[in-house]
Amino acid sequence: MARYTGPVCRLCRREGIKLFLKGGRCDTAKCAATRREYPPGMHSWRRGKFSKYGTQLREKQKLKRAYGLREKQFRLYFAQAERTKGNTGENLLILLERRLDNVIYILGFAFSRAQCRQLICHGHIAVNGHRVDIPSYSVKPGEIIEPYASERSKKTIKQYLEQSAEREMPPWLERSTDPPKGTVAGMPTRDDITLPIQEQLVVEFSSK
């Protein structure tokens, strides 16, 4: 399945929560999810309650859309979470939280995960001094994430950091703004993930 290229505000309205797909716009009065608090479509007001299947599907779609995953990518992550010891739902969330595009979004290197993917694919990000252009790269404790050694990369990311300097960091990440740099201090836990997801519903849907 190809990546969705339509208006992303429709996705937030469909899921009924802000997924912050538009970056800074989501915090303003222009946010479509705030102005139109109902699903997109002509007859959204006539829709009844979701079935159990529908509720599970919506949780899975919410998770995919928040992290910008395609269906095949999601299935690979779910299979990996199933193979890992422990709670499958928590394993899945932790795997997604460790994606490089998500980590630099939390660090404030860009306003949205889509912008983070673009920065990575264009070669603006380095991990332990080596350029990484794979958004799905899974970070490990002790790794240092910083702009690649070019003035253009540093200038671009510094502009984003200045506008997100007040963003609170989770315990597993450390950030410095001068020079712009992030350090993976440990592994994320379920308590560190603020996205309102009921992972058990995702597991129930994907295990069928």
DSSP assignment letter at 3:
P
Q: Quick check: bond before 179 cis, omega within 30? A: yes
Residues whose CB falls within 8 Å of the CB of residue 148, separated by 6 or more in sequence, listed in order: 123, 124, 125, 126, 131
Per-residue pLDDT of the chain (208 residues; tens, 9 = 90+): 467 666 666 666 666 666 666 666 655 666 655 566 666 666 555 566 778 888 898 889 889 888 988 899 999 999 999 999 999 999 999 999 999 999 999 998 888 888 899 899 998 999 999 999 999 999 999 999 998 877 877 777 887 787 776 778 899 999 988 788 899 999 999 999 988 889 999 999 998 7
d(CA 156, CA 147): 9
pLDDT for 159: 78
Report domain extents, the chain. 9-96+194-206, 100-184
pLDDT for 1: 46
pLDDT for 61: 87
Query: Is residue 64 within 8 Å of residue 164, measured between CB atoms?
Result: no
Q: pTM for the full model? A: 0.83
For 94, the enclosing helix (H) or strand (E) is helix 88-97
Output the six-digit token pair for 132. Answer: 């990484």
d(CA 20, CA 12): 8
How far is residue 10 CA from its own chain's centroid? 17
Alpha helices, H only, 98-198: 100-107, 113-121, 151-163
Q: What is the CATH number of domain 9-96+194-206?
A: 1.10.1050.10
Q: Pairing relation of β-strands 180-184 and 144-147?
A: antiparallel
Among 3.50.50.60, 3.40.50.300, 3.10.290.10, 3.30.365.10, name the CATH number for the domain at 100-184. Answer: 3.10.290.10
How many beta carbons lie within 10 A of that of residue 178, not counting itself?
A: 7
